[in-house]
């Protein structure tokens, strides 16, 4: 049978690793959304390389609305304007 006090010590031993991992993961997500902030309008904006609105329209016309949402799950089905793209990036930061 294990001593309950030894379980507390082992749980505390992971505290530093958990703290470091979560901070590193947050830094990775921040850097991803920060770089996306400068690129999103040129890539999938209203006048981008492949506009999100055009892409989603093509997906829904080929597959249908319900299967299109299943194939390409995104919040941009609701609104794919430049403002919505910026809003998603700001929410990610």
pLDDT tens, residue by residue, 47-88: 999 999 999 999 999 999 999 999 999 999 999 999 999 999
> DSSP for 13-54?
HTHHHHHHHHHHHHHHHHHHHHHHHHHHHHHHSTTSSS-HHH
Mean pLDDT of the 7-21 span: 80
Q: Specify the pTM.
A: 0.74
Q: What is the pLDDT of residues 23-44, one digit of tens each?
A: 999 999 999 999 999 999 999 9
Q: What length is written for the chain?
A: 93
Domain ranges of the chain: 29-92
Cα separation of 59 and 52, whole Å?
10
Look at residue 8 in the predicted model and tell me its pLDDT.
62
């Amino acid at each position: 049978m294990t001593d309950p006090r030894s379980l507390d010590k082992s749980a505390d031993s992971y505290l530093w690793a958990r703290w470091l991992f979560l901070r590193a993961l947050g830094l990775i997500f921040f850097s991803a959304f920060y770089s996306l902030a400068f690129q999103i309008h040129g890539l999938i904006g209203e006048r981008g390389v492949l506009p999100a609105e055009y892409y989603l329209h093509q997906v829904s016309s080929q597959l249908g609305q319900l299967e299109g949402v299943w194939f390409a799950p995104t919040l941009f089905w609701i609104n794919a304007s430049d403002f919505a793209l910026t809003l998603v990036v700001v929410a990610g930061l």
